[in-house]
Structure 1
Amino acid sequence: MKNLKKERATVLLLDGLTDPGNLGAVLRSCDLFDLDLLVLPTRRSAKINGTALKASAGAGVYVSYAEVNNLARAIRELKEHDFWVYGADVEGEPVWSVKFPPRVALLLGSEGGGLGRLTSEHCDQMVTIPTGGHIDSLNVSVAAGILLYELRRRSVSPV
């Protein structure tokens, strides 16, 4: 995680995402919204492979990523480097009302299981994307795209 020395940085951590197609869609958003680092667990996680790269429409080759043995430890390390960690959860604070600091780490879980207990305990705050339909969650790749867009929107000055 040594390439995160910038004053303003965004990291995305994926907890339990096992579908390579979804990972590919996340990779596409990571590139489009200029993510600094994607963090994946080495176990119980989709890999950046041919399927994921194809689903990313080629964007995956431009995304910096790290595989870690222990996601909770990676979160602690990010906090030691002045990152504020936000977990995505339906019970969180609406994303539009959160004042994000310059160094943000977003933690997203799988569609089926959400965030793991151990990783969610390390979050500083939970955020949600308010919705109005009958179901209560978005596909993880859609949620990643919306959250990364919101962070990018706030970090770019209007011309």
Structure 2
Amino acid sequence: MRYKEFTIEGRNAVLEAFRSGKTIDKLFVLDGCQDGPVKSIIREAKKTDTIINFVDKERLDRLAGTGHHQGVVAQAAAYEYAEVEDILKAAKDKGEAPFIFILDEIEDPHNLGAIIRTANQAGAHGVIIPKRRAVGLTATVAKTSAGAINYTPVAKVTNISKTIEDLKKQGMWFVCADMDGTTMYDLNLTGPIGLVIGNEGSGVGRLVKEKCDFVASIPMKGDIDSLNASVAAGVLAYEIVRQRMTK
């Protein structure tokens, strides 16, 4: 299966991965390593959106698993990323108002996989994730999505706030999940909508939250104050589904 190739280690293998056009999310290089082959790899990485991290040998050994990394480990995307335009086109082709999930720094691959699965079942046209401080399309994400990753496009953007601004200009509006918001049942969640779900610990970032039109809260009846990020995404997504169906 495609996602077994996720971690690439060794100088020749990593350089070949870049030159073949494989999507590399992150490159890890032994700190202080500056010889010719490593410089070539870094030069190739800088031509792309790859995030370059300089790390110590212990970190590289943990990432590699085999110990034969020669000072470089690459993490390749298990699946190709889409463009934001592809997601909008998917909505247009179906004759539907766009429904997009925007994820602000989701770091747990199980959460991302579960959210992609939910997005698919809820009829969302795609998922947008940030390049930094967030998990990419890893093998674990692919497996947790239970196949949904094959059908629901995922786009990776540099700046979530700017992406929201750009989509607003195209007629979309945005609702983010936050405990301090208005109860989701009291909001009109129909039309071209983006559902913003925040980081597992800190929630939606302040700058992203300020760009949202509405802040929605999920009624909480229990003794703790939050839901798992993927569960919260599912609960809100299906309120959007309900409202779109009854519109």
Shorter chain as normaliser: what TM range?
A: over 0.9
Q: Residue in 2 aligned with 1:144?
A: 233
Does structure 2 retain, via aligned residues, the 8 Å contact 1:111–1:138? no
Runs of 4+ displaced beyond 6 Å? none
Structure whose alpha-carbon radius of gyration is higher: 2
Which segments of 5 or more consecutive residues in structure 2 lack a partner in the other structure? 1-83
Aligned match for 2:193, one of 104, 107, 128: 104
Structure number having the greater helix percentage = 2
Q: Residue in 2 aligned with 1:74?
A: 163
CA distance in 2, matches of 1:135, 1:16: 22
Instruction: Indicate the SS of the match to 2:85.
Output: coil
The sequence identity of aligned pairs, in percent, is: 39
Aligned match for 1:87, one of 161, 171, 176: 176
TM-score, with length taken from structure 2: 0.61
Q: Deviations over 1:54-91 (max 9, x none)?
A: 11112122111210001110010111111111111001
CA distance in 1, matches of 2:142, 2:104: 19
Q: Residue in 2 aligned with 1:15?
A: 104
How many pairs align? 158
Query: Larger RCO: Structure 1 or Structure 2 (Cα < 8 Å, ≥ 6 residues apart)?
Result: 1
CA distance in 1, matches of 2:179, 2:214: 12
Matched, 1:29 2:118: yes
TM-score, with length taken from structure 1: 0.93
Q: How does 1:27-66 map to 2 (within 5 A)?
A: 27-66=116-155
What one-letter code is carried by the residue in structure 2 that aligns with 1:2?
Answer: E
Aligned-CA RMSD value: 1.5
Which segments of 5 or more consecutive residues in structure 1 lack a partner in the other structure? none
Aligned match for 2:207, one of 102, 106, 118: 118
